[in-house]
Structure 1
Amino acid sequence: MGAAKNIWAILEAEDESSGNNVSQIPYSSMVVDTSLPLPRIIPLLIELCKDLFKNWRELDDSLFSVERVSGGITNLLLKVSVKEDTERQVSVTVRLYGPNTEYVINRERELQAIKYLSAAGFGAKLLGGFGNGMVQSFINARTLDPSDMRQPKIAAQIAKELGKFHQVDIPGSKEPQLWVDILKFFERASTLRFEEPDTHKLYETISFEELHKEIVELREFTGILNSPVVFAHNDLLSGNLMLNEEEERLYLIDFEYGSYNYRGFDIGNHFNEYAGYDCDYSFYPSKEEQYHFIKHYLQPDKPEEVSIAEVESVYIETDAYKLASHLYWAIWAIIQARMSPIEFDYMGYFFLRYNEYKKLKPLTFSLVTSSLSASV
């Protein structure tokens, strides 16, 4: 709770000096216990909203309703609706951070980026903060499924939005964070102990010496590609994409992992997410599907005018960085296996991602090396 308040204090100080208005965003010191069943969380959320928004403080609790929107493998999202009068109902989204997520998520970095991304039209508007979460405007749209991302029309929309997202300027350091974050994850993952004997036995089968060598080798290999550095989403899975089909408007949401990073990583990571949490990589986009996405990313208004050479260059770059995506989330999963209370086979997820990395590595290295040799 104290750490969260400190983050908001930092943002207020920064924005007072720059003339922005994030200091006007209300903050509550409340912490909502995410381990409680929903019926017990509901009155706490009502209390939280009344604490944050003064125009709701005198309203009767019966005018509030709460429903679960979704729950990924890090956060819990809830929709709070309020009947402000007989004709007007307002809804907000309350995002409860998963316990121990500070081990893998830089909340200060996230909050610093949100206000600029929101101003650029991305995601939901930040309305308030509290000890273990935030309140944002409610987006009237459905969350995508992995299969949606394969549809050519939706893929083109995602590519167009990602292209615009990558053009947003976020003040501060522009240094790419990929290898900084991976090495930080590695340091934490390599010193864990598990209470469950079976999980610890699995953990002991991981060769961290081998894993570190792979990180160093891949960092050097991808470095020769000179992938442009952009402000990247870094977690563009289907659950972080919403679509209002009536308005044909696509939303990129949840910027927890957002940072300056390599363009190839953000696109390659998105392609990996076609496989879903089950990691069925038979759904990884074909070369034709990747070309379709890349063309709309580079030139959404006239995709067919993008040169094949330019598309092929991004395709090669993306193919290399998809390996980094596998390493990133594999090592992330080891930490989550120890820290997260959410029922998900994180250790199994590590092996799925790391085994896919090892399977693809020789093919990708050969493809990239051949392409670079041909272009000399």
Structure 2
Amino acid sequence: SIPSSDRTVDHSLPLPDLKPRIAEVCRDLFNKWRNLDDSDFSLETVSGGITNLLLKVSIREKQDSTAVITVRLFGPNTEYVVNRERELQAIPYLSAAGFGAVLLGVFGNGMVQSFIDARTLTPSDMRSPKLAAQIAKHLRRFHSVQVPGSKEPQLWNDISKFFGRASTLKFDDAEKQKTLESISFTEIDQEIDQLKQLTSRFDAPVVYAHNDLLSGNLMLNDDEEKLYLIDFEYGSYNYRGFDIGNHFCEYAGYECDYGLYPNEDEQYLFFRNYLNPDNPTQVSDSELEALHVETNTFMLVAHLYWALWAVIQAKVSPIDFDYLGYFILRYNEYKRRKAQCFSSAQVYFSK
């Protein structure tokens, strides 16, 4: 069983003030460090996503030996958008299959994991053909992991929860409230219904999906050319096309530069390596076309998913990020791409 502690750590504290609190958590969780002093611990920030803070913690165990771990502090109020229970249940199975870091302990608002010696990718890294092929092969393997529990796809449940929360919010900030009032949730509700109907016509395989495969959740050790998929907080059973379509949207980065969305050749390279990792050239045109249409229809769903997520984050997240601006960028891109994607799907189904 994994050690656990009820302690919580305020993730808005500056690094020097975090140190004694993180040391306290580590002493609480691990007997072997119980007698160590605060001065035996040192901290550095690995990355601050727009929901989590990732810290590299080095522990001086003896004169000549240092242990290194990662501490992930969950962003405040992330329980509004993340199902923590689902994540903690899946981690041991994903970890056993070689994905992510090993879970070493959990505490009130975070987890302790093994340290991965690698750098976080950037959106432009993901376009490199060599890396794109590697990511596709990894994702195929990730999708074959069996996680116990319900195998029902969670996409529409999650969207329905997000919709319920986003459509009933009120902001104290007048400017934000004005932006919120300009959003037609009736229209979004109709869009969700249309997408639900259209995507149900695909026989999209249901897999254990990452659901948040952006560059910040991919790490690479350049020397060993070893790729890591990390951070499974949005993971669930879901439609294959959603996971891939969502990943393609992330080529655009947080700035949402959708001119960077992968073109057909780039997508086909990814699909070949995903569909036949051992022999990518042996994929039929019909398989490629089917996955292309499936992915680019579910890509529309990804825009609505994160658009609604952003409205909730604008209300609950203390992180300084223009979430309502992000909603607008995602929803506008959805509307810009909708007609073409719907018509490609209709043509495909009429064959």
Q: TM-score range by the shorter chain?
A: over 0.9
Deviation (angstroms), 1:332: 0.3
75-84 or 144-153, which moves further after superposition? 75-84
Residue 355 (structure 1) aligns with: 332
Deviation (angstroms), 1:201: 0.3
**Deviation digits for residues 125-166 of structure 1 (CA, Å, limit 9, x no counterpart):** 000000001000000000000000000000011000000000
Residue 105 (structure 1) aligns with: 82
Residue 222 (structure 2) aligns with: 245
Residue 125 (structure 1) aligns with: 102
Work out the percentage of aligned pairs sharing the same amino acid: 65
1:1-376 alignment runs, 5 A limit: 23=1, 25-374=2-351
Runs of at least 4 residues off by over 3 Å:
none
Any idea what SS the aligned residue of 1:28 has? coil
Amino acid at match of 1:71: G
**In structure 2, C-alpha distance between the alignment counterparts of 1:119 and 1:87, rounded to whole Å:** 31
**In structure 1, C-alpha distance between the alignment counterparts of 2:163 and 2:304, rounded to whole Å:** 10
Amino acid at match of 1:278: E
TM-score (norm 1): 0.92
Amino acid at match of 2:113: Q
Any idea what SS the aligned residue of 1:342 has? coil
**In structure 2, C-alpha distance between the alignment counterparts of 1:268 and 1:279, rounded to whole Å:** 15
What's the Cα RMSD here? 0.7
Amino acid at match of 2:335: K
Q: Which 5+ residue runs of structure 2 have no aligned equivalent?
A: none
Any idea what SS the aligned residue of 2:134 has? helix
Deviation (angstroms), 1:208: 0.7
Amino acid at match of 1:275: A
CA contact (8 A) 2:153 2:236 kept: yes
**In structure 2, C-alpha distance between the alignment counterparts of 1:29 and 1:175, rounded to whole Å:** 31
Q: Which 5+ residue runs of structure 1 have no aligned equivalent?
A: 1-22
Amino acid at match of 1:291: Y
Deviation (angstroms), 1:88: 1.7
**In structure 2, C-alpha distance between the alignment counterparts of 1:317 and 1:347, rounded to whole Å:** 28
84-93 or 169-178, which moves further after superposition? 84-93
Deviation (angstroms), 1:301: 1.4
54-63 or 97-106, which moves further after superposition? 54-63
Amino acid at match of 1:242: M
- Equivalent pairs counted in the alignment come to 351
Deviation (angstroms), 1:35: 2.1
**In structure 2, C-alpha distance between the alignment counterparts of 1:125 and 1:311, rounded to whole Å:** 35
**Deviation digits for residues 312-362 of structure 1 (CA, Å, limit 9, x no counterpart):** 110110010000000000000000000000000000000000010011000
Residue 20 (structure 1) aligns with: none
CA contact (8 A) 2:19 2:38 kept: no
**In structure 2, C-alpha distance between the alignment counterparts of 1:307 and 1:218, rounded to whole Å:** 27
Residue 7 (structure 1) aligns with: none
**In structure 2, C-alpha distance between the alignment counterparts of 1:310 and 1:335, rounded to whole Å:** 38
Amino acid at match of 2:294: E
Any idea what SS the aligned residue of 2:341 has? helix
**In structure 1, C-alpha distance between the alignment counterparts of 2:215 and 2:208, rounded to whole Å:** 19
**In structure 1, C-alpha distance between the alignment counterparts of 2:273 and 2:322, rounded to whole Å:** 35
**In structure 2, C-alpha distance between the alignment counterparts of 1:355 and 1:87, rounded to whole Å:** 56
Deviation (angstroms), 1:42: 1.2
Any idea what SS the aligned residue of 1:27 has? coil
Amino acid at match of 1:250: L
Deviation (angstroms), 1:47: 1.1
**In structure 2, C-alpha distance between the alignment counterparts of 1:61 and 1:34, rounded to whole Å:** 18
Residue 17 (structure 1) aligns with: none
**In structure 2, C-alpha distance between the alignment counterparts of 1:286 and 1:184, rounded to whole Å:** 32
Deviation (angstroms), 1:76: 0.5
Deviation (angstroms), 1:248: 1.1
CA contact (8 A) 2:87 2:234 kept: yes
38-47 or 271-280, which moves further after superposition? 38-47
